[in-house]
Structure 1
């Protein structure tokens, strides 16, 4: 059941417009019911049925049916009055950047006011827009209604089925292209990535330098201490080195000196590598790595073809796994 939040309605700064919305909503519902009933009454069989079983109703309504356009124009005049009233308010309050934007953005209000055949039924869009506006202002909550839940469930089910079929079709097409030995990967490598090797090298070099500066430099002391402790522990576990302590007089000294030297060498090497990575001097190293991964056309080794076959098989298997996941119907799990 649709409930009205009276507190939000009272506290709203647009109370008058919200009241008008409710009035227009009531009039639209009455008008739509009137249009539907008159469309049904338009059938001769219905007129004869009423004349036979409810002659009083038929005799009262038949003159209204003959002058249906007149009565409908009464509703249209009210709707147009409200439309121009809101347009004037939008101009005064500078709701939109241009004064003439309002009728274009609310085109459904104008088209629904055309008293011609099926165009009258477009007034249902006006009903939807009012309900949506009231929902936005939290005056009503349409998500709690059974109608909304029903429509939302089957809409989501329909969209999931539709999107799944589209995704499966696209993935199957990609698989077929890959299996046919599509030159897509070659084009990406030769026409897109290779001409931008310098740019990729600069970008990766900068990112590596930033990561090294932010991650290593502030924790330099802790990393050095950790490395020395790990090297010291590894050396103590070494059987050959542990035998040095059995040398007379100088054995323990040699062992301790070696442990300290090795720990210091390892820490200094790691320190120097990270220092280089954190500086602009890492560019040549990064450039060499990029060149290995993106060789120039004609530099590809002979075994590259075998690697491409393995890569194609890997990609198709991955796509097949994705297709299997896409086939899962999540909306069925929500069925009662």
Structure 2
């Protein structure tokens, strides 16, 4: 059921044009219905069938069929009058940059008025343009139509299938070029990553600081107990340190003190490192790391082993992207 938003229609500054749109829409539907009926009636088999089973219908419609061109010309006259009226308004309101742009932009309105069988059906485009304009101004809501949802669903499914195949084909082509020795990863490193070292440094620095603060700080006490336990166990297995117990009187005390001191030193060192990583002071460290990973173009010798590793890495990334592209989202919607 078509629902018209009367509030938007009343408050619109183009009320007259919307009324004309509704009138044209009704006339177009009537005209297209007559065209379809006349096209079907044009078959001799249909005429013979009506003549045999419904002679009154045949007798009534036969004159209309013979003079259908004149009947259609009545509609064409109305459509052309409305076309030139809108063209004149477009010129007066300066809707387009040039006065002669209107017929080129609305060519389907003009061509559809040609009373030739194959061109008459271009009037369907005029119906679609009117409905779209009414929907755009929120006079009607075509998304509520079951037909629209059905067409929209299969259109999206078709476009997804088409785009997925194109993307997979392109990615497969990239993989083929890589296997043939394409300098793609050098271009990625030299032309994309290297000019953006500062951005990468900031991003990596922020990620490390966030991981250190959120991952380490809440479990600082647990990590300290774990480190002291591991250090204590390692020191007990050390042969030279175990000989301290043989020293009379003070040997066991020295050993225990040394174990506690070493465990405390290791825990404090690790804690200081994590605190540095969790703060902005890690920026210099990350910057040095990025400089090593992304040297200036032409400053290092080519490394075949590294190149092969980079090609394998890029291939794995592309395969992951292809696997994601192959996921059919429209099938999941179909099951709902």
Q: TM-score, normalised by structure 2?
A: 0.71
1:319 counterpart residue number: 318
1:102 counterpart residue number: 102
Check conservation: 2:185, 2:311, Cα contact below 8 A. Answer: no
Check conservation: 2:5, 2:139, Cα contact below 8 A. Answer: yes
In 1, Cα distance between equivalents of 2:289 and 2:156 = 51
Q: For residues 207-227 of structure 1, give each alpha carbon's deviation from its aligned partner in whole angstroms, at most 9, with x where no partner exists.
A: 98xx9xxxxxxxxxxxxxxxx
> Relative to structure 1, is the Cα distance of residues 6 and 292 closer, same or farther in structure 2, using a 3 angstrom cutoff?
closer
Paired residue secondary structure (1:299): coil
> Relative to structure 1, is the Cα distance of residues 138 and 187 closer, same or farther in structure 2, using a 3 angstrom cutoff?
closer
Residue 186 of structure 1: CA displacement? 3.9
Residue 125 of structure 1: CA displacement? 0.2
Check conservation: 2:83, 2:109, Cα contact below 8 A. Answer: yes
Instruction: Specify every segment of 5 or more residues in structure 2 that has no aligned partner in the other structure, as ranges.
Output: 206-223, 229-271
Residue 294 of structure 1: CA displacement? 3.9
Residue 81 of structure 1: CA displacement? 0.1
Residue 181 of structure 1: CA displacement? 2.4
Q: TM-score, normalised by structure 1?
A: 0.71
RMSD of aligned C-alpha atoms?
4.2
Count of residues in Structure 1 that have an aligned counterpart in Structure 2: 289
1:53 counterpart residue number: 53
2:257 counterpart residue number: none
2:308 counterpart residue number: 309
Which has the larger displacement, 290-299 or 103-112?
290-299
> Relative to structure 1, is the Cα distance of residues 292 and 169 closer, same or farther in structure 2, using a 3 angstrom cutoff?
closer
Check conservation: 1:108, 1:125, Cα contact below 8 A. Answer: yes
Check conservation: 2:112, 2:120, Cα contact below 8 A. Answer: yes
In 2, Cα distance between equivalents of 1:175 and 1:292 = 24
Check conservation: 1:112, 1:120, Cα contact below 8 A. Answer: yes
Paired residue secondary structure (2:121): helix
> Relative to structure 1, is the Cα distance of residues 68 and 55 closer, same or farther in structure 2, using a 3 angstrom cutoff?
same
In 2, Cα distance between equivalents of 1:200 and 1:168 = 28
In 2, Cα distance between equivalents of 1:200 and 1:330 = 35
Paired residue secondary structure (1:148): helix
